[in-house]
A and B are shown apart, each in its own frame.
Chain A
């Protein structure tokens, strides 16, 4: 069964990250590398996205498409990356998500097709 794990950053997490020194950030990256290595046989796809300020949203309205600056949900939580995994069931996907060592929110969704 395929799932996508969507990683979300919160305002607080971003602030904490910005306040961190280089050694702290290196340690953070290393933890993520460890996680990716640990599950390399299950991860079929892995992408980190650019910051939310680079996002542009296209709304397909009746009167024609409207292009606006920013992510589609103007919220405090922003998707910052995702992995696609091939695992036995939801429990296995949840276990991976629980061990994710970086940003504090992970949404887990089955891939339909």
Chain B
């Protein structure tokens, strides 16, 4: 199967498996049992669809397989078996079912790695093998995380429902964090070379889009979707033909998807109308400033510094202060930026981008010796091959 057919297959599975999982959990009232049935059906689909072709009604196909298997394996649990046997498809899936599924998978009582694995498997229909290869971890590790999480959901009685209004904000933050982590994992892992790994940024965009459809009144959800789209719209220009990371200042902006950028900015404008700014909307606004600049020289740095100030007021973090310092260097000069950086030196000493940013500022000030020292430190701390290559080249040139 070629790459396109595989992507198409993944898309169909993702769309239909998630819906089936949502309906079955709701129907059976047993998260673990429903999840087992769906993941078996997904495995069967991945085996047979490439050979037989994708059926006309993939949802009905998956359902039929899940039901047959369910009636079989749930023989001893008559309660479930009878419910399953009576179920007709399509079982008008309620939008709330999918939302409930997402909130259960991202419950704070589960460890974070499990939330990600469970969301990918249950909501996006990925197999354990696909998750393991996307995260470069052993399959048994993923399987164990999912098994433990399912056991905890059942044994500790983690509910299958949308949190009540007073908890919704906090719980939604957890869901958004899972999607954002997923996106970052995919974004950082991507390279210029044709990769066999699944593009997790696409799954993250799909999840954020699903959530935005289900919760249109939550501006942070829309903000996260806009943020992901703004990044993805420029992904093609991030690497050169040899797979080398290209810095933002050197990227060919003609290769950006300008229609995609405009669409994401419209989303962000819509979110802003709610007048409830938050970290995702603000980060998207910062990325939008870069995406809208026709050239590197056109970048609206004062606006970016202002947005970082707002972001820091919402979510103080040393990494955000680092990024603000870099933006500040374009407004107030490298000296001012270095002074800013000094305030987070202790907290970010083990963070490679802190040293890489210092190196750049020192080089700008003509201090080549200390710049090299900082680049060397950055190189020691990074494990990302694309970033390593950039730093090596800089050390080689400088």
Contact = CB atoms under 8 A, between A and B. Distances in A.
Interface residues of A, number: 9
Contacts of A91: 158-159, 161, 163, 167
B109 A89 contact: no
A88 interface: yes
Contacts of A95: 167
A1 B157 CA distance: 8
Nearest to A92: B159
Contacts of A89: 157-159
Interface in B145-203: 155-159, 161, 163, 167
The binding surface of chain A is classed by DSSP as mixed
B254 to A, nearest CB: 51
A71 to B, nearest CB: 25
B155 A110 contact: yes
Contacts of A32: none
A96 B292 CA distance: 48
Interface of A: 1, 88-91, 94-95, 109-110
A108 B158 CA distance: 12
B115 to A, nearest CB: 15
A76 to B, nearest CB: 23
A55 to B, nearest CB: 27
Contact of A110 (B107, B156, B159, B163): B156
A105 to B, nearest CB: 15
Interface string B31-59: 00000000000000000000000000000
9 contacts: A89-B159, A90-B156, A90-B158, A91-B158, A91-B159, A91-B163, A91-B167, A110-B156, A110-B157
Given A94-B109, A95-B167, A88 B159 contact: yes
Interface string B369-391: 00000000000000000000000
A94 B163 CA distance: 12
The 9 A-B pairs with the shortest beta carbon distances in the complex, nearest first, are A89-B159, A1-B157, A89-B157, A90-B158, A90-B156, A110-B156, A90-B157, A91-B159, A90-B109
A42 to B, nearest CB: 14
Contacts of A90: 107, 109, 156-159
B171 to A, nearest CB: 9
Contacts of B163: 91
B29 to A, nearest CB: 12
A59 B239 CA distance: 62
B339 to A, nearest CB: 36
B257 to A, nearest CB: 41
Contacts of B157: 1, 89-90, 110
Contacts of A94: 109
B249 to A, nearest CB: 47
Contacts of B161: 91
Among B109, B156, B167, residue most surrounded by chain A Cβ atoms (within 10 Å): B156
A1 to B, nearest CB: 5
Contacts of A110: 155-157
A21 B280 CA distance: 45
